[in-house]
Structure 1
Amino acid sequence: MAEDILYADIKFTSQTGSSSLHSPSQQPAAPQHSRWIQIALWAACIGNVILVIAVIVLALQLEPEKEKILLNHGGCNASIDKFWGSLRHSICNQNQNRSSDNSPCKVCPVQWQLHRDKCYSLSDYVKTWDESQHDCSTRDSQLLVIQDKEELDFIESITKNSKYWIGLSVLKSKKKWIWITGSQLDQSLFPEPDYGEGNYCAAIKESVSSEPCNREIQWICQKDSLLL
């Protein structure tokens, strides 16, 4: 019985010692994990500092480029101003005997004639009144609408050799002469032309007269001049 008790004591002591030997080996795990977290945080801080420094350096490098862009933009504006000045000198001074390159001038498309604020195109061939108006509209213009006595005198001076349609026709339902703009003829400008049965439109050759609208004659288109 004494031997049994001794064996039991030795076995217990051996198990207790074994437990005490294994427990210390598991404790260092927590401090090691904390050390990796600290390393990661320091690395993140260093990365942020490097990023901020890179942004500052990039901004300093772009500042001179910004100044160059602004200078080039100013140079471009100067070139455009020089171009317009040269264009006015070559076109406006040549056509209108102007002495100042900086003041604007009025210009017309090629083969259009300038007078005051309008450009005029006198056709070389013949069409009906409706066809003439269609031709004007395809060229961003309309048949001539005479606005005052001064314009009437000018048109009469350039239509001495041929008869031309203008943008005036008689509205048979009201027996009134109406411009294509919708306004009624002001008889202080010129008297209403006489007309017969059928559709009649106005034409000019030194003076205004009526012609059957289906007759084929030349015509005058007008458009606003361009301010250069």
Structure 2
Amino acid sequence: MEGEAIENTDGVEVVEQEVKRPGIITKKMLVMSSMICGGIVFLLWAMLGFPRKFKNPKIFEDNTCSEDETICPKAWNQIRNNCFFQSEYEKTWIDGQANCIAYRGSLAIFNSKNEVESLMPYLGPSSYWIGLKKLNASTPWMWANEDAFNNWFKIEGNGTCAFMFKKGISSASCDDAIKYICSREALLFAKLSKCTQTMECSGKWIGVGKKCFYFSGDTKNWTASKRFFSSQGSKLAHIDTQEDMEFLRRHAGTFMHWIGLNRKQGESWKWTNDTTLNPWFGISGIGSFAFLNADGVHSSRGFIDIKWICSKPKF
């Protein structure tokens, strides 16, 4: 061997050291092979394992799909979680309260100073009944929901029914006719997210999920509404999912809209395609034709003229 002619300082031939080198090289090769194999195994695990471990990542990314929001019906103003409506007509306190109850509310009940101050700038020159009343001059003020008033704001005057105007709160005879303000809790809905809203519906049709919905501008009775849209290749609205329901209620506001449900005396509710309703939502009233607004689904006689909603599948 070439190394046999070379000696180190101790007189030991280099060849003796070279005898050990093949073992060192073999160990290095084993280490390198192990690292390469380990890297390949890791890559395979990464490619094949992660998709199974993190299946459907949109559940975590699109948080807005399940968030809730509070809203008020059309023509109502929202202050925090409450809605307020200012009338255009003058009524006595009792009649104003009756109208507010019809809107699923009452004459205005305030929970904070912020609500009062927020409404003041919008009152203009008019006065508005609010939900405070007392039986006589010597009894305490009570809210329309029968809660005691804790005197956190001053009420001027000697009347037994309270009203608000731009400069504060005063009182007058409950038989006086003035405008009124209603209040009610804001409605809670699941927010329509970007993951469900689409632009696949033409014109004035609104896309939600797999459907397009149309809200009428004019009014018809139930039969005329059904006949009109049948000729247009659509139908009075069918509601198949909670997402549909929440969208329709929010968009309808306080206005009544016919939907595609009716029933014959003594029979179950049926959709316009003659399928029986799976009662996953309630229908109030004793009528034979269903309509919808922000408060839910109700029933009435079919000959009254109200707005309507139609639906059709997306194409």
How far apart are residue 211 of structure 1 and its match? 1.3
8 Å CA contact retained: 2:157, 2:172: no
Tell me the number of residue pairs that the alignment of Structure 1 and Structure 2 aligns. 128
How far apart are residue 173 of structure 1 and its match? 7.2
8 Å CA contact retained: 1:177, 1:192: no
Match of 1:66 in 2: none
Alpha-carbon distance in 2 for matches of 1:137, 1:225: 15
Alpha-carbon distance in 1 for matches of 2:164, 2:173: 13
Please, which of 198, 203, 225 is the counterpart of residue 163 of structure 2?
203
Indicate the RMSD between aligned Cα atoms, in angstroms: 2.3
Q: After alignment, is 210-219 or 104-113 more displaced? A: 104-113
Larger Rg: 1
Q: 1:208 to 1:173 in 2, by over 3 A?
A: closer
Which aligned runs of 4 or more in structure 1 are off by greater than 4 angstroms? 99-102
Match of 2:89 in 1: 125
After superposition, the C-alpha distances for 1:51-106 in whole angstroms (9 at most, x for unaligned) are xxxxxxxxxxxxxxxxxxxxxxxxxxxxxx9xxx9xxxxxxxxxxxxx95542211
Query: 1:62-73 residue pairs with structure 2 within 5 A?
Result: none
The reply to whether residue 136 of structure 1 matches residue 100 of structure 2 is yes
Q: Which runs of 5+ in 1 are unaligned?
A: 1-80, 86-98
Please, which of 154, 173, 177 is the counterpart of residue 212 of structure 1?
173
8 Å CA contact retained: 2:156, 2:171: yes
How far apart are residue 135 of structure 1 and its match? 0.6
Match of 1:55 in 2: none
Q: 1:121 to 1:209 in 2, by over 3 A?
A: same
Identical-pair percentage: 28
Q: 2:101 is aligned with what amino acid?
A: S
Match of 1:148 in 2: 112
Alpha-carbon distance in 2 for matches of 1:194, 1:162: 17
How far apart are residue 113 of structure 1 and its match? 1.3
Alpha-carbon distance in 1 for matches of 2:118, 2:93: 22
Match of 2:67 in 1: 103
- Give 1 or 2: higher strand fraction: 2
The reply to whether residue 226 of structure 1 matches residue 190 of structure 2 is no
After superposition, the C-alpha distances for 1:173-199 in whole angstroms (9 at most, x for unaligned) are 742211112222222x21233305xxx
After superposition, the C-alpha distances for 1:129-185 in whole angstroms (9 at most, x for unaligned) are 000001111121111011111112112222233110000012217422111122222
Q: Which runs of 5+ in 2 are unaligned?
A: 1-58, 190-315
How far apart are residue 111 of structure 1 and its match? 1.3
Alpha-carbon distance in 2 for matches of 1:162, 1:136: 18
SS at match of 2:88: coil
After superposition, the C-alpha distances for 1:4-46 in whole angstroms (9 at most, x for unaligned) are xxxxxxxxxxxxxxxxxxxxxxxxxxxxxxxxxxxxxxxxxxx
Alpha-carbon distance in 1 for matches of 2:126, 2:185: 24
Match of 2:79 in 1: 115
Q: 1:138 to 1:201 in 2, by over 3 A?
A: same
TM-score by length of 1: 0.51
TM-score by length of 2: 0.38
